[in-house]
Every structure is written in C-alpha cells, then in structure tokens.
C-alpha cells in the first residue's frame, strides 16, 4: 500500500447537498447531507433532517458510482448521476436511491426513496 497516495473521485467533497426522503410516494423529510471526505472508498460526513447533525459513515464505489451510508436511524444506498451546464459553468450532481428506517426511529421498518442534489462550479 502506498502511503500518501490519493486519487480524486467523481463524488465531490467536501460538499453540502439538499436531501429529501420519500415514504409511500410522499415527500416527508427534507434536510442537508454533508460529505466531508472520501478516502480509499470510505466516506464520512453528516446528515441533518431535524436540526441536529447526525454522523454518517459509509462506502463509495467509484467504478459503479454507488454510495451506501448509515446513520443511527436509517440505511441509505444510491447511485451518482451528473450533468454539466456549460452556460452556467455548473456541474449538477444527483444521488438517488433507497432508504430503510431502523430502530430507534419511530419509522423503523419503513422503506422509501431519497434524492440529494448539489451543484459545483466547473473548472476553467
């Protein structure tokens, strides 16, 4: 293993994302996802749905562009999509996937979908 060797991944970090979870097809929770870092396929950050940042730990699969992370209340899995908008000099990132609530959440056992979006300036 090479020490000090880092490879930039397609998942941007550190970044703040708007996140929304849906259960039963209805939007029920809106919040913020903060991705602090991604090192050797491991990611760290926090999620905030009700005013308190809850730490997350997870994995990032660069080849598949897939993410999986957990909080004490839920497990999330998803896929990254991106689209450039050259006229605005922006790259739009979208994470979409499934969420499963678990104890101690009052929604334990429920499953749904989630979407997170962020926008990053394109390099010139």
| Cα–Cα nearest to 49, from 73, 31, 72, 22 | 31
Q: Is the pLDDT of residue 120 over 80?
A: yes
Which one of 2.40.128, 1.10.20, 1.10.10, 1.10.4160 gives the CATH number of domain 15-115? 2.40.128
Give the Å distances, CA to CA, from 35 to 2, 83, 100.
25, 19, 20
Whole-angstrom distance, CA of residue 73 vs CA of residue 71: 5
Quote the pLDDT of residue 6: 41
Task: Flag whether pLDDT at 60 surpasses 60.
Answer: yes
Is the model more confident about 97 or about 10? 97
81-105 in b/e form (b: 16+ CB < 10 A) is eeeeeeeeeebebebebebbbeeee
Domain ranges of the chain: 15-115
**pTM of structure:** 0.86
| Per-residue pLDDT tens over the stretch 10-41 | 999 999 999 999 987 776 789 999 999 999 99
């Amino acid at each position: 293993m090479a020490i000090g060797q880092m490879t930039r991944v397609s998942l941007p970090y550190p970044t703040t994302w708007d996140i929304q979870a849906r259960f039963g097809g209805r939007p029920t929770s809106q919040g913020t996802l903060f991705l602090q870092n991604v090192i050797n396929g491991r990611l760290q950050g926090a999620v905030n749905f009700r005013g308190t940042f809850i730490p997350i730990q997870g994995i990032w699969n660069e080849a598949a562009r897939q993410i999986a992370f957990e909080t004490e209340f839920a497990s999330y899995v998803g896929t990254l999509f991106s689209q450039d908008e050259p006229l605005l000099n922006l790259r739009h990132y979208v994470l979409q996937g499934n969420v499963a609530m678990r104890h101690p959440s009052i929604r334990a056992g429920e499953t749904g979908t989630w979407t997170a979006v962020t926008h990053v300036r394109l390099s010139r």
